[in-house]
Structure 1
């Protein structure tokens, strides 16, 4: 049978209240008493009950993380960064898969409220008034990762999507490509879809190239299928394109697969650049040149921001993380 706090108190010859104060790092005991209690804990192998401790200090040492897709490589990199910081600080993480359409978000927010989490990390999804209202009622800090809210004043950590795709387009132009197209995310997505498309058009305009919305195909999302199903329609509009900017690495992989089906060689006949730098970018043939988001670091920074807000009770400042181009073999230099 597992030892209890009563067993520790009896072994150390102190009251249960004293053991509780020591476990929760509260004052009211001597160094000698603390040593006796810690020795008793070690000897008995006592494991404090997190629920019971939460009832005492009103802290559960738990945070909630909401992802639209926990199976994606992007999510796993961000989650690794979050968990690294959370575990260093002695906190647990409840991960919630909300679905890409947000069908379960309200349900999971209610669950996190019942679990009395101390803060929430809201990842890669658009914030709505309904969700913001629920979080405000919970009265706990919220930090956004890989997204932001134009309507609600919530701190975030992310890459500047428009600037990052500007850089990707500039890279292609510097490699000699003048006839470019883009397979983007949803146009109505004001957080990632539309800004990335704007970065593409702004780069074309800046370098004096033809820039038209016709050179962009807006899709339903950022998945493999969005790239695979839309390369042929884009090439039917502009059959002489030499390069494609993809709104994600998954989209880029879809483009490369579709090119293979069409008998188009990448990069000899068509160059492709992705966005994210997830692990699949290294695995595909040819290895994918892409815009790297520091996903692991974004998870770490987002978690640090949240714990800082939990500790101080103050809203933290948002952070824009740097992006960079990772050169591999999917872009051909044109002389």
Structure 2
């Protein structure tokens, strides 16, 4: 018999048990006599039966799959988050469907609709912003949604993050304490709540503590990628800033190379602290000092929250904040 065509019916017939009993054995249900279990397992082994995950999902009205919406699959930060999600998903016997949204709100809606069309059991959403259109998609979805590394201004979805405002205050304070008066703040779109409502405020908190007036000319917006960081170097150099906090490692890598190519030595002429402590921070020369955050853990905790929601369990907390820290490397003076 071709192993591809062996069905649960064939196993039940050969083992002389019901299909429900075979299903219970396959799914590890304890409510089966050990003698019966051994008999069914022996038939499964002999026939080479491989349970069809999709068929099992249809029978239980669950597909055993999770949709993961990721804004840029090539970004080290999101790739590390996805690893944490995948490892915990595997522990709970879920497979993930990774969907790349290309940093586009229009594509995010399309990706959400595609995932829901595949009847996923839950969604982990990573991105840069939760707007009204995305909120509507969440409401339409008949499955739980958890945000990872993303904040919702209306706090409607469960989420896992670090304290971005406090982290940015800490980083900016280090540069101010080192004697810098003109510290640039380099980030993505300031319309994004995480930037406008958290990171920028953290930067401003540090300035206020040192009685340094906030100067909009020292705030630079980019596209969360290497090229935009590189292209910002000329404007940052012209601004008379002597240091910068950067909210994204790819932008920081671009900025450090752009400044170096423009004849600015990091850290001798210009000090820099980035935010995610992804692998990029040790690939650059000089290596980048950074806020540290448990990127893998953010993904893993988000997935664990999702498993609870899918099992209709109560969450101990709707919004989980994991600890951040700081690591000193070569883009800041000792």
Q: Same fold (TM over 0.5)?
A: yes
Aligned equivalent of 2:329: 328
The equivalent residue for 1:149 is 152
Shift of 1:174: 3.0
1:46 maps to 2:49: yes
Offset from partner CA, 1:306-335 (integer Å, 9 cap, x none): 1111112545521011111111111124xx
Structure 1 residues not aligned, in runs of 5+: none
Name the SS of the counterpart of 2:181 in structure 1: coil
Aligned equivalent of 1:296: 296
Moved more, 46-55 or 124-133: 124-133
Distance 1:295 1:86 in 2: 16
**1:97 aligns with one of 83, 88, 100:** 100
2:116 to 96, 113, 132: 113
In structure 2, the CA distance between the partners of 1:304 and 1:283, relative to structure 1 (3 Å rule), is: same
Contact kept in structure 2, 1:119 and 1:310, CA below 8 Å: yes
Cα deviation for residue 28 of structure 1 reads 6.6
RMSD between superposed Cα atoms in Å: 2.0
Shift of 1:29: 4.3
Q: Gaps (5+ residues) in structure 2?
A: none
Aligned equivalent of 1:197:
200
Say which SS state the counterpart of residue 183 (structure 1) adopts: strand
Which range moved further: 33-42 or 191-200? 191-200
SS of alignment partner, residue 194 of structure 2: coil
**Deviation, structure 1 residue 190:** 1.5
Superposition TM-score, scaled by structure 1 size: 0.92
Distance in 1 between residues matched to 2:271 and 2:31, nearest whole Å: 69
Alignment map for 1:1-335 (pairs within 5 Å):
1-2=2-3, 3-24=6-27, 29-151=32-154, 153-193=156-196, 195-217=198-220, 219-238=221-240, 241-314=241-314, 317-333=318-334
Q: TM (normalized to structure 2)?
A: 0.92
- Secondary structure of 1:276's partner? coil
Deviations 1:148-183 (A, max 9, x none): 111351111111221111111112223333332222
Shift of 1:25: 5.0
Cα gap change, 1:29 to 1:244, in 2 (>3 Å): closer
CA–CA separation in structure 2 for the residues paired with 1:180 and 1:106: 37
In the alignment of these two chains, the number of paired residues is 330
Q: Give distance in 2, aligned partners of 1:128 and 1:208.
A: 35
